[in-house]
Amino acid sequence: MAVAGGKIDYQGGRWSVPDRPIIPFIEGDGTGPDIWRASQRVFDAAVAKAFAGSRAIVWKEVLAGEKAFKATGNWLPDETLAVIREHRVAIKGPLTTPVGGGMRSLNVALRQILDLYACIRPVRWFAGVPAPVREPQKLDVVIFRENIEDVYAGIEFEAGSDKADKLRDFLIDQLGVKTLRQGSAIGVKPMSKFGSQRLVAKAIQYAIDHHRPSVTLVHKGNIQKFTEGAFRDWGYQLAKESFAGDTVTEAEGVKGKVVIKDRIADAMFQQVLLRPDEYSVIATSNLNGDYLSDACAAQVGGLGMAPGANVGDGYAVFEATHGTAPKYAGQDKVNPGSVILSGVMMFEEIGWGAAGKAIVAGIEGALAAKKVTYDLARQMPGATEVPTSTFADAIIAHLK
Ligand SMILES: NC(=O)c1ccc[n+]([C@@H]2O[C@H](COP(=O)([O-])OP(=O)(O)OC[C@H]3O[C@@H](n4cnc5c(N)ncnc54)[C@H](O)[C@@H]3O)[C@@H](O)[C@H]2O)c1
């Protein structure tokens, strides 16, 4: 029997979540359906376990990608966007990005329509997962990457084009730029105080709420003073003005408060390898965050288990960070960990953290039992390779 659900709302900076929230999902292309089936079972079991049957999710499928194209002739139907907007919180599997053609990217469309300005990527190691470093347990960071500005704003002019040449002339004639090779391609990197500060605010608030010891502003301000350098300055300014009671600078170092510090991006790549336990929450600009989150994920065993979320004010879309792995589609073979851990983030975000905790314990239990999908099994001595669905069973069996 279908259960009636309610809508999640957002008022005064807080989620209001009914006991039976309707959550739209996109199962995804390629291996997406295999992964989604397994993930949904884990989510439902975790909610039932954590809340003793008093809460449940009412899942609502929305279409995107190949499935949408087959059903509607449209890769991204307007209705999908409307339903996600109406219900505010959604979760998705990986989608095929068709090469060429004028197809809209779902992520870009959602980011723009819902203003999902923070890309959040927690990166931690799970015991038993094969990793390339000696002490992967020392890395436990949550990366807040600005999601809209920076070189991703898409302001670029092709080498030799009329526009690039005009812009070059303008820069030289009007703005005093001295050297700019003729025929250069030119890209523009916009970063605003508004965009930077709201991202840093989300990171600091997260650190406070989750009792994290520090927020590190990662930037390339030694070279790009007015963009990356300003990101750092605006970050410190915001911490001082809006979070004075909860934060201190590195020099002040008061116990019990969130330390705000900064590191130059290139040094940060060394730091996460050499002194990973000195970092906790990281707030950074778009391009730095792109590189840093993949590098950190690789350090603890790769993208197969790395979750992600795109979050704005009152809207959030949780997703796998890997692609559709099409060669394994329909084989019940790949690791559902990334979508499942995205669900953990979703539960934390909507205040259902107990369900998230249950799942983390379930994953730890499944890993300890060494019943894992092929990607992990092939590198874990003594492990048994199991299908996606059996890995989900093992997680469910270890929910706590
Ligand atoms: N967020 C997204 O929706 C997203 C992200 C990246 C790529 N894509 C799309 O996915 C398609 C395939 O891209 P790709 O091959 O570059 O990347 P991919 O992530 O699908 O695959 C890269 C490698 O990782 C493996 N892999 C991926 N997910 C796995 C999992 N859950 N468990 C075990 N192994 C896994 C694959 O088998 C492959 O060897 C393309 O259409 C691409 O555009 C979508």
Give residue 149's identity as a one-letter amino acid code: E
Q: Is the CB of 388 under 6 A from ligand 1?
A: no
pLDDT of residue 4: 87
Distance in angstroms (rounded) separating the CA atoms of residues 302 and 322: 10
Number of H helices, E strands in the chain: 13, 17
Distance in angstroms (rounded) separating the CA atoms of residues 203 and 201: 5
pLDDT of residue 102: 57
The DSSP string of 368-380 is HTTEE-HHHHTTS
Note the residue count of the chain.
Answer: 400
Give residue 352's identity as a one-letter amino acid code: W
324: CA distance to ligand 1 center in Å?
4
70 is catalytic: no
Exposed, middle or buried: residue 275 (CB in 10 Å: 0-12, 13-18, 19+)? exposed
Asked whether 146 and 117 are in contact (CB, 8 A), the reply is: yes
Q: Is the CB of 66 under 6 A from ligand 1?
A: no
Three-state secondary structure string covering 311-369:
ECCCCEEEEECCCCCHHHCCCCCCCCHHHHHHHHHHHHHCCCHHHHHHHHHHHHHHHHC
Distance in angstroms (rounded) separating the CA atoms of residues 311 and 313: 7
Give residue 97's identity as a one-letter amino acid code: T
| 47-96 pLDDT per residue, tens | 999 999 999 999 999 999 999 999 999 888 999 999 999 999 999 999 98
User: Could you tell me which residues come within 8 angstroms of residue 154 by beta carbon, excluding any fewer than 6 positions away?
Assistant: none
Q: Is the CB of 324 under 6 A from ligand 1?
A: yes
Exposed, middle or buried: residue 364 (CB in 10 Å: 0-12, 13-18, 19+)? middle
Q: Is the CB of 95 under 6 A from ligand 1?
A: yes
Helix (H) or strand (E) holding 399: none
Distance in angstroms (rounded) separating the CA atoms of residues 164 and 150: 19
pLDDT of residue 252: 87
SS3 category, 97? coil
Of 324, 335, 372, best ligand 1 pocket probe by most atoms within 8 Å of the beta carbon: 324
Give residue 356's identity as a one-letter amino acid code: G
Active-site residue, from 60, 140, 152, 165: 152
Distance in angstroms (rounded) separating the CA atoms of residues 283 and 266: 15
pLDDT of residue 305: 86
- Ligand 1 atom index nearest CA of 28: 3
Cβ atoms within 10 Å of 271's Cβ, excluding its own: 16
165: CA distance to ligand 1 center in Å?
38
Structure tokens at 372: 């894992």
178: CA distance to ligand 1 center in Å?
44
Cβ atoms within 10 Å of 280's Cβ, excluding its own: 19
pLDDT of residue 101: 58
113: phi then psi, degrees, rounded to nearest 5? -70, -40
Q: Is the CB of 39 under 6 A from ligand 1?
A: no
Distance in angstroms (rounded) separating the CA atoms of residues 236 and 50: 39
Beta bridge partners of 118: 146, 311
| 221-248 pLDDT per residue, tens | 999 999 999 999 999 999 999 999 999 9
10 is catalytic: no
- Ligand 1 atom index nearest CA of 29: 10
Give the closest residue (by CA) to ligand 1 atom 38.
325
Average pLDDT of each block of 10 consecutive residues along the chain (400 residues)?
84 95 97 98 98 97 94 92 96 82 71 92 93 96 96 91 97 96 96 98 96 97 97 98 96 87 98 97 97 94 86 95 93 96 97 97 96 92 95 97
Give residue 262's identity as a one-letter amino acid code: D
Structure tokens at 187: 């890209």
